[in-house]
Structure formats: structure tokens, C-alpha cells
Amino acid sequence: MTRLPQPKDWIQAIHAYVPGKSTGDDGVPLVKLSANENPLGTSPAALAARAAGAAQHPSLYPDPDSTALRQAIAMLHGLDPARVVCGTGSDELLNLAAQAYCGPGDEVVYVRYGFSVYDIAARRCGATPVVAPDNFYATDVDALLACITDATRVVYLANPNNPTGTLTARGEIARLHAALPSHVLLVLDQAYAEYLSPEEDDLGLELARNHDNVLVTRTFSKIYGLAGDRIGWGFGAQAIIDTLNRIRGPFNVTLGGQAAALAALGDQDFVARSRAHNSRWRQWLADEIAQLGNHGLTVIPSHANFVLVLFEGAVSAETAFNALMQAGYIVRWPKGQGLGHALRITIGQEADMRAIAAVLRDLVSA
């Protein structure tokens, strides 16, 4: 009998990441509010730089160290560029953190309703994922700490969290870190940090600046509107960054991507406009849905560029999902994450938000 190559058991246990849909079941394109993309698009300066960068030397490899981009990131945030690493989106860095510090017999801890990549990152290196209970869809620091054992190597925490939008206060982040053993790596996934006000900042970058077991990751996919270019970055102790540099892709950020991200950092006016638009229409949509609370709809308070809506009345999440699709909109129905009773709705243009609210009002009043 012919034997075929066999993957490791822990690879077979992975449920592949399911991206947000962009079309209906019939293949017709819909307004995509399922992937937390920036409804304002991309900074014109970033688009121009991207085109110029990609066309300049297409036969040459990009700078393998993303030197200029790392320096610009460091300057904007007051960091040491030698302690910044760039990745193919923050996803690459989240996966590398587990790959670098975990293996069979080790444990990776994260909160229930956390980003689905954490489970994949743990399993792909043979580690055991350990899921801590939530506190009404938010992070429970005490529950996380109760899961720490001698086998724990990495703790993941998204702040703000995806898919719930909840925020863990800086004092709780500091308390979590202070209680962790020094050999446990705390990975703070700050993909949505730019949507926060200065008062809401969890000071994760300061933790990473001052401690040897903290890695902060960020992305250009959200507020910077460069999701298609897959650019992320991380900041941590020199030893952590040196380790990640050993195993990351050698040319992991493209020529055009480096140029676009560099220009995007320089256009903070676009970032401010994106933040203001998001804040206004996130609150508007949350207020509109809150008025439907007597019909079983609940909005989880969000600090990101989406809202998570619970459907616990006569109208189910599935019914709402299909109705929105019929109206031309695709949102995220995260049933694979234990949230079959919820929809995650990205904040879009004003017309999109008004249309979403109208569909939900019509549904509950039918």
C-alpha cells in the first residue's frame, strides 16, 4: 500500500481561518461590512506612494528589514527602531510569537471570544490552547490568571478585543502583566488601538518598553486602510525582536507596501478623520440598536470600528444576517466562535449605517 505524507496531528486539529464574506450565496457582490475595513478607504498620499514604490524597481527585492518604515514607526510612537519588527500583517507576528516560544506540551492562554488566530497560532506549533472564561464578552483578568500553569508560555490579549469590541483598562493590563511569571510572554494585540482616545490607551507600548516579556502588535490594515497590502508591526524587548527576526519571512513586506505604510504614517490627518467618522457612526448605530432592546437586541459597548449585536429575542442572528444580505449588505456572523446568536457589523459610510438600522427596525416590527 502506498503511504502518503501525513501532517502532524496538531495541524489536523486546526480549523482554518474563515475570512469575512464579500458576496451573497448567489455570488453577487455586496457592501462588505464583515472585515472591519476602513470605509474611508486609504490615504491618497499612501496610494500615490504605493504606486510609485511598486513601479520603481519591480525586479528587485524589497528592503528585508523595512528600515525606513521601522524608523518612521519608532519616531511617531517614541520607540527604539531596533526594537520594532515588521510583518505580513500583524497575523504573521502573532503566529511567530507562538512558534518562537511554544511547542508540544506547552500552553497558550487567551480569553473566550478572542481573535480566532490565537487558536490557530497555538495549534500550528503543537501547543495546547487554553481558553479563559469571559466577563459578559469582555476580558476577565482573574479568569486569565487562573488558567496560568507551569506549562503556560504565551498569553494573547486583544485590546480592543475582536470580535466583541470590549476594552480592558490600563490598570487591568498592568495587573495582568504583574501577576504573570517572567518567562510567560504577554502578547498585546492592538490592531484597533488607533481608534482609541489618548485617555483609553492601555499603555501597552510602555509595558513593552520596560519589560522583557511583552510584545505589542499593530497593523496598517484597519485605520490606515492598507488591509490589502498586509503590513503589521511589533514592538518588544530586543531579545524578543531578535528571535522573531530569525523566523519571519526574509522579504515579508513588499516594496509598494513599505512605501504606502511610510506615507500613511505621515498622513495623520487621514487617521484623525477616520477616527472621528468611526466614533460618530459607531455611537449612532449603537444608539439606534439600543432602542430595539425590548425586542431582544443588545449592543456590546465597542471601542473598535465595529459593533457586536446580540440577538436574544424573537429575531435570530441568522434571520438578521439573511435580511441584511437581501438588502445588499454582508456582515460577520461569528457562529464558529460560539457567537451564533450575534452579528459583528463593521462601521461603514453614513448611508450604510442608516440602511442597517432600518433593516433591523423593520425586522423586529414585522
Q: What is the DSSP string of 20-54?
A: PP-B-TTS-B-EEESS---TT---HHHHHHHHHHH
pLDDT at 272: 98
pLDDT of residue 1: 67
The domain defined by 9-41+269-365 carries CATH number 3.90.1150.10: yes
Distance of CA 185 to the CA centre of its chain: 18
Residues of the chain with pLDDT under 70: 1, 17, 20-24, 26, 54-55
Residues of the chain within CATH 3.40.640.10 domain(s) are 44-267
CATH 3.90.1150.10 in the chain: give the residue spans: 9-41+269-365
What pLDDT score was predicted for residue 352? 97
pTM of this structure? 0.94
3-state SS, one letter per residue, for 257-300: HHHHHHHHHHCHHHHHHHHHHHHHHHHHHHHHHHCCHHHCEEEE
What's the pLDDT at 143? 98
Between CA 191 and CA 90 the distance in angstroms is 8
Q: What is the pLDDT of residues 296-321, one digit of tens each?
A: 999 999 999 999 999 999 999 999 99
Give the pLDDT confidence score for residue 20 in this predicted structure.
66
Looking at residue 291, its pLDDT comes to: 95
The CATH classification of domain 44-267, taken from the options 2.60.120.10, 3.90.1150.180, 3.40.640.10, 3.10.310.30: 3.40.640.10
> What's the confidence (pLDDT) of residue 211?
98
Q: How far apart are CA 69 and CA 319, in angstroms?
A: 45
pLDDT at 51: 83
